[in-house]
Amino acid sequence: MDTETTPASSATELLRRSLARGRLGHAYLFSGDDLDSLEESAALLAQTLLCQSPLETGPEGQSLVPCGQCSQCRRVAHRTHPDVTWVHPESKMRQILANQTREVTRILGLRPAEAPRKIAVICGADRFNPGAANAFLKTLEEPPAGSIILLLSTDPGRVLETILSRCLRLSFGTAGLRLSPEVRDWLAGFAAAAKDSGKGSGLLARYRLLDQLLQSLVAARARIETSLSEDSPLNRYADASAEQKEHWERELNAAIESEYRRHRSEYLGGLHIWLRDLWLTRLGSPGELFLPDLQETTAAIANRLTPADSQRNIEAWESTMRLLHTNVQEALALEVGLLKLRL
């Protein structure tokens, strides 16, 4: 299936036009900054498709604006509609497992209980473990007749390309930037260190920035390993078989890696946003900054850059972020990426 990426402001309108033309796709990837908001967007589409008393209809009587009050709309809102299946990552392992995707496939293959179609909402499409992703590919390739599959992700860069290629992509990015206090504190420290390092190619200053980033990532991984290991069944079932323990260990390692990559993406994405702020400041548009609390430090660095420098910084860091989704050695990719930045 072709992919279609839209800006946040037009995503809802595109869906509305597709409904009016009767050309709704079979599988969508909704991306945005907040999973709760994406779930609400998915629920709104499900209500629109199933509403019994729409407030607005299309040329063939199809629902375009749901009433929000009928039995169908209320049950979708309360996540109790029998023809709308919601899938979330299981337990603190924070992964969608193969047995979950197989169950979704089974449910989608059944006749609808009362609605004209069946809908599946996958909350956290970037949390598929490899087995779950592979099990779900055939369903995405050949969805059961009349079914709609909605995949939601706050980190679409981690969604497998084989899944992305089978979905229409819509961005529901929100106006406000959501970064954890931990990442904001790290960005403030990174920006201050970059300001003090001065412009130029001083390798010592640049490697200090790299060391600061790597230390933050190492600390994040350690916290994740501790948290997920405590919740692992390996700690609760000492008398389990060796085969079962090996299975749990593989699941634990995969969950740790998945959660670590999510945290890493927040750090790297935060730095990408700050580099954008540098560029905007250099162009004379400080009123549009995502991180206004860093404005003074950002301006000091921007004043020693050219517009071309600040734009190349963004391009170089985007290249680094893409590279880190491959099997490249993490420390080496970050080293090369930071050495390319002009700060």
Where along the chain do its domains lie? Answer: 8-171, 181-340
pLDDT of residue 287: 61
pLDDT over threshold 80, residue 153: yes
Instruction: Kindly report the CATH class assigned to 8-171.
Output: alpha beta
What are the CB-based long-range contacts (under 8 Å, 24+) for 313-320? Answer: 313/275, 313/278, 313/279, 313/340, 313/341, 313/342, 313/343, 314/272, 314/275, 314/276, 314/279, 316/340, 316/341, 317/268, 317/271, 317/272, 317/275, 317/341, 318/272, 320/268
pLDDT over threshold 70, residue 165: yes
Q: What's the pLDDT band for 249 if we cut at 50, 70, 90?
A: confident
pLDDT tens string 264-293: 888 888 898 899 889 888 888 766 678 888
Question: Model pTM?
Answer: 0.56
pLDDT tens string 119-139: 999 998 988 887 888 888 888
Q: Across the strands, what pairs with 86?
A: 121
**Between the ranges 83-87, 169-173, 182-186, 324-328, where is the mean pLDDT highest?**
83-87
CA gap 177, 289 in Å, rounded: 10
Mean pLDDT of the chain: 83
pLDDT of residue 78: 92
